[in-house]
Structure 1
Amino acid sequence: MKPEKTAIILIGFQNDYFLEDEILRGVVEESSKVTGVLNNTLHLINALDGVLMISTPIVFSENYPELVEPEGILKTIKEVGAFKKGSSGSQTISQFDQFNGKITEISGKQGLNAFINTSLEAVLRKNNITNVAFAGTVCSICIDSTGRSAFDKGFHVTMLSDCISGRTVFEQEFFCKEIFTLYANVISSKELITEHT
């Protein structure tokens, strides 16, 4: 993958998932620790130059008017009050502050797929991106949904196995070994860094 044709899509790096005592920390904590998701992702961002970095946080309005009769994880998000606009939980993790200017934040994500209701595809096309690599959470939901959509749109998809967490260690390993491989290249962040340096 050529650096100038590659984008790293960062999904779910928000306080509700990663900050101690926040609402959804327990959902991905075990998987994130085992794979070293946060440290590996921070190292990846720091090590790569000339690669477009995009963050797509999920944020909802007060009382969640965007979610009409939600099911599954979106129902849970509404019930527990996660990712609410203006809350500390909806904010991007402070560890990304050091990369001010290096990460482009694309707003509008209010569901599982980061392409829906956002300018993500337009930004990728404008920058002549052909390859997208994913880091973040949750593997079985937003990562998989957005990854499949990217594939359907003609992008070459890479999943960074050590930068992606799941609800359980088993789920993360299963998706990396059995699901992502159906439509994506699955490699570690270290392998991607080696390709680009």
Structure 2
Amino acid sequence: MPETALILIDIQNDYFPGGAWEVDKMETVAANAARLLDHARTAGTLVIHVRHEAGSDSAPFFRPGTPGAQINATVKPRDTEAVVLKHRPNSFHETDLLDMLRDAGVVNVTICGAMTQMCVDATTRAAVDFGFKATVVADACGAKAGSFDGIDVPAEVMQAAFLAPLAMSYAKVVTTKEALDG
């Protein structure tokens, strides 16, 4: 039984340059995620891809049935790898992700993908709440700039603002190099 699972969250076409909802540095994020994926495949680690699909055709991105909602070729799932379809930021919400992890005897989850401030954050917190030990690979996660109450938040600040509290009490936050060397 694999003790660790790699969870790749929402590495989908709409987040890449030219997509409907570009995420900062997404090509670098995906390249690092692909390195983690190659390592996991070689090591026999359980790999689970998570794909987000919006609830309607009028959504700004990840519209059902569109190329933008498909997993990017950089981390294309193999036929033997699970793909979890979700409709909310938390990858556990109304999916079979928890059962998959428990049935496989997983204790540790390594998480990467996008967006850091939404789905990565929500999934990491939920994983820990369900009793898993979480590692988040910072440079294999991507954030998007945002704005609130007249304050613009650049992507790199958004990334740091969400990874800092995860590192404080939820997860071990590492680089791709550290994850691969560890």
How far apart are residue 173 of structure 1 and its match? 2.3
Task: Decide whether aligned partners of structure 1 residues 186 and 61 sit closer, same or farther in structure 2, where only a CA change above 3 A counts.
Answer: closer
CA contact (8 A) 2:30 2:75 kept: no
Q: Corresponding residue for 1:184?
A: 171
CA contact (8 A) 1:44 1:193 kept: yes
CA contact (8 A) 1:53 1:102 kept: no
1:2-21 equivalent positions in 2, closer than 5 A: 4-18=2-16, 20-21=17-18
How far apart are residue 192 of structure 1 and its match? 1.9
How far apart are residue 103 of structure 1 and its match? 3.3
Matched, 1:84 2:63: yes
Matched, 1:58 2:52: yes
Query: Percent of aligned pairs with the same residue?
Result: 28
What SS does structure 2 have at the residue aligned with 1:129?
A: coil
User: Could you tell me which amino acid in structure 2 is paired with residue 47 of structure 1?
Assistant: H
Alignment length (residue pairs):
170
CA distance in 1 between counterparts of 2:100 and 2:66 reads 27
Q: Corresponding residue for 1:123?
A: 100
From 132, 137, 140, the equivalent of 1:160 is 137
User: Could you tell me which amino acid in structure 2 is paired with residue 46 of structure 1?
Assistant: D
CA distance in 2 between counterparts of 1:189 and 1:91 reads 24
The structure that is strand-richer by fraction is 2
1:100-115 equivalent positions in 2, closer than 5 A: 100-101=78-79, 103-107=81-85, 109-115=86-92
CA distance in 2 between counterparts of 1:110 and 1:132 reads 21
The normalised TM-score by structure 1 is 0.79
The normalised TM-score by structure 2 is 0.85
CA contact (8 A) 1:57 1:106 kept: yes
Q: Corresponding residue for 1:68?
A: none
How far apart are residue 63 of structure 1 and its match? 4.0
What SS does structure 1 have at the residue aligned with 2:68?
A: helix
CA distance in 2 between counterparts of 1:44 and 1:10 reads 9
Q: Corresponding residue for 1:24?
A: 21
How far apart are residue 140 of structure 1 and its match? 1.2
CA distance in 2 between counterparts of 1:102 and 1:139 reads 27
User: Could you tell me which amino acid in structure 2 is paired with residue 44 of structure 1?
Assistant: L
Specify which structure has the bigger relative contact order, considering alpha-carbon pairs within 8 angstroms and separated by 6 or more residues.
1
CA distance in 2 between counterparts of 1:7 and 1:179 reads 19
CA distance in 1 between counterparts of 2:35 and 2:80 reads 13
Task: Decide whether aligned partners of structure 1 residues 118 and 177 sit closer, same or farther in structure 2, where only a CA change above 3 A counts.
Answer: same
Task: Decide whether aligned partners of structure 1 residues 166 and 105 sit closer, same or farther in structure 2, where only a CA change above 3 A counts.
Answer: same
Structure 1: gaps (5+ residues): 65-77
The structure that is helix-richer by fraction is 1
Structure 2: gaps (5+ residues): 145-154
